[in-house]
């Protein structure tokens, strides 16, 4: 990482009060970041947490720690920040906590967004290795669940089976509530597993991931149960084609909105674009959704459109959702490389 002093100076700050859990973990290594915060200042960084975590913090952190009760943190930090220009994360600080920051007696409190997120855009080899492992655990979870996929099984039971596999094979947790969406429910982009019983002739969407040492994975597959309709098969094949076209187009320098358009343009040609109701993908790392956004260009949000760079980890996840028919989404987790990309997800695909 750029030296803290340079990073802060470039934003006109003397220090940054870091409360977003993934940024706290990024800066410290502390694995319970919701119960800590990091003060980033020009000489370095300091983790604050409470006495429950003294030993854990000592073991995990690569920055110094200060153990204090909540009420004492401000008092301690004031000795470092009084009269200084102090940034805080406006998208990760509650209004009532902002009132507490007045106690720092800073010269100025500056709302910021995205400073550390910009650093997290390019992954180090160590980070890539952790994401790879998170995805491997997830790949295997689908493999061991697929034999249970048949008519008569409830969605929630498959989801639970996958989660149990991941958590008993090294995952800290599921990455998010697992989607298992069958039949009419597959037409919903966010079909968290329900008690619905899967039926013959349905297509079933799985969207799942693991969290491994703080890092996430994310992958989507769709599998038919028995024989499915020609209409569903068509949706499946066009989604797969859109996915592959986008994967082939990935390389450094390609703008994220242009990549989105590769998939969307193909679906437009097929007269299906109206059913692709979300964006193409997103970055993955210490958060399940992070920069970059892979989406259509929006004139009101030009900052979302950035060139791909080697070291980014992104998802490519075209989907088609047709009410009354069903839906398909297929998602790969991808590392952008110097020459193109490496697909990190290796979960099996259906043959449709």
Q: For 44-81, b where at least 16 C-beta lie within 10 A, e where not — what string?
A: ebbbbbeeebeeebeebbebebebbeeeebbeebeeeb
| Partner in contact with 79, chosen from a second copy, Mn ion, none, beta carbon below 5 to 8 Å by kind | none
Task: Compute the least distance from the CB of residue 269 to a second copy, in Å.
Answer: 26
Which stretch, 40-48, 128-136, 218-226, 244-252, contacts Mn ion (CB under 5 A)? Answer: 218-226
Kindly calculate the radius of gyration of the chain based on its CA atoms and give it in whole angstroms.
22
Q: How far is the CB of 284 from Mn ion (least distance, A)?
A: 7
CB of 28 to a second copy, least distance (A): 19
DSSP tag of 350: P
Q: Binds 167, which of a second copy, Mn ion, none (CB < 5 to 8 A, cut-off by type)?
A: a second copy
CA dist., res. 33 & res. 25, Å (int)? 6
User: What is the edge-to-edge ordering of all strands in the sheet holding 173-174?
Assistant: 173-174, 210-212, 215-216
Q: What angle do CA 143, 144, 148 make, to 5 degrees?
A: 105
HSE-CB for 144 with a 13 A CA cutoff: 16
In angstroms, the CA 287 to CA 302 distance is 22
| Residue 218 binding partner per list a second copy, Mn ion, none, with a CB distance cut-off of 5 to 8 Å that depends on partner kind | Mn ion
- Eight-state DSSP code of residue 255: B
Specify the residue, 115 or 336, whose C-beta has the smaller distance to a second copy.
115
Q: Which does 91 bind (CB under 5 to 8 A by kind): Mn ion, a second copy, none?
A: a second copy
* 146 C-beta neighbours (distance < 10 Å), count: 17
Partner whose binding site includes residue 271, from Mn ion, a second copy, none (CB under 5 to 8 Å by kind): none
Side by side, the strands of the sheet bearing 332-336 are: 290-294, 281-283, 313-316, 332-336, 341-343
205 binds Mn ion (CB under 5 A): no
Q: Toward Mn ion, which CB reaches closer, 19 or 279?
A: 279
Distances, alpha carbon 314 to alpha carbons 33, 64, 122, 318, in Å: 23, 32, 11, 13
Return the number of the residue (94 or 339) whose C-beta is nearest a second copy: 94
Closest distance to a second copy from the beta carbon of 98 (Å): 5
Report, in Å, the least distance between residue 125 CB and a second copy: 26
Given 218, 260, 290, 332, the residue binding Mn ion (CB under 5 A): 218
Residue 53 or 266: the one with the smaller Cβ distance to a second copy is: 53
Query: In this chain, which of 315, 316, 326, 334 binds Mn ion, going by CB under 5 A?
Result: 315
* Cβ proximity to Mn ion, 204 vs 284, nearer residue: 284
Distance, in Å, from the CA atom of 119 to the CA atom of 1, rounded to the nearest integer, reads 7
With tokens 């920051």, the residue in question is 101
Tell me which residues touch a second copy (CB under 8 A).
52, 88, 90-96, 98-99, 111, 113, 156-157, 160, 164, 167-168, 188-190
CB of 90 or CB of 151, closer to a second copy: 90
On whether the CB atoms of residues 292 and 314 are closer than 8 A, the answer is yes
CB of 113 to a second copy, least distance (A): 7
17 DSSP 8-state letter: E
State the nearest-atom distance from the C-beta of 256 to Mn ion, in Å: 15
Residue (155 or 332) nearer to Mn ion, CB: 332
**What whole-number distance in Å separates Cα of residue 314 and Cα of residue 282?**
5
Q: How many residues of this chain bind Mn ion (CB under 5 A)?
A: 2
Q: Which stretch binds Mn ion (CB under 5 A): 74-82, 93-101, 136-144, 214-222?
A: 214-222
> 3-class DSSP state for residue 50?
coil
Q: Which residues bind Mn ion (CB under 5 A)?
A: 218, 315
């Amino acid at each position: 990482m750029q030296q803290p002093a340079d990073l802060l100076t470039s934003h006109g700050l003397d220090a940054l009060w870091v409360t977003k859990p993934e940024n706290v973990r990024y800066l410290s290594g502390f694995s319970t970041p919701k119960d800590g915060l990091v003060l980033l200042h020009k000489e370095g960084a300091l983790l604050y947490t409470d006495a429950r975590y003294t030993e854990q913090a000592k073991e995990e952190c690569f920055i110094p720690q200060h153990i204090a009760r909540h009420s004492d943190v401000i008092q301690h930090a004031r000795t470092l920040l009084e009269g200084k220009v102090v940034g805080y994360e406006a998208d990760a600080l509650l209004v009532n906590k902002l009132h507490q920051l007045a106690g720092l007696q800073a010269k100025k409190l500056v709302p910021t967004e995205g400073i550390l997120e910009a650093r997290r855009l390019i992954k180090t080899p160590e980070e890539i290795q952790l994401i790879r492992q998170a995805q491997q655990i997830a790949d295997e979870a689908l493999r061991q669940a697929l034999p249970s996929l048949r008519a008569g099984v409830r969605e929630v039971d498959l989801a639970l089976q996958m989660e149990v596999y991941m958590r008993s094979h090294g995952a800290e947790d599921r990455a998010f509530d697992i989607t298992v969406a069958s039949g009419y429910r597959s037409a919903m982009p966010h079909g968290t597993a329900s008690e619905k019983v899967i039926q013959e002739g349905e297509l079933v969407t799985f969207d799942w991931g693991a969290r491994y040492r703080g890092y996430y994975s994310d992958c989507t597959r769709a599998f038919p149960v028995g024989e499915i309709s020609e209409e569903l098969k068509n949706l499946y094949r066009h989604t797969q084609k859109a996915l592959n076209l986008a994967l082939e187009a990935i390389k450094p320098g390609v703008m994220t909105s242009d990549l989105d358009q590769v998939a969307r343009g193909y679906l437009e040609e097929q007269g299906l674009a109206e059913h692709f109701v979300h964006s193409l993908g997103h970055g993955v790392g210490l958060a399940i959704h992070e920069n970059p956004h892979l989406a259509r260009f929006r004139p009101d949000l030009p900052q979302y459109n950035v060139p791909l760079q080697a070291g980014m980890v992104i998802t490519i996840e075209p989907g088609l959702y047709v009410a009354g028919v069903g839906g398909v989404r297929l998602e790969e987790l991808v590392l952008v490389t110097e020459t193109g990309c490496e697909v990190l997800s290796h979960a099996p695909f259906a043959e449709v």
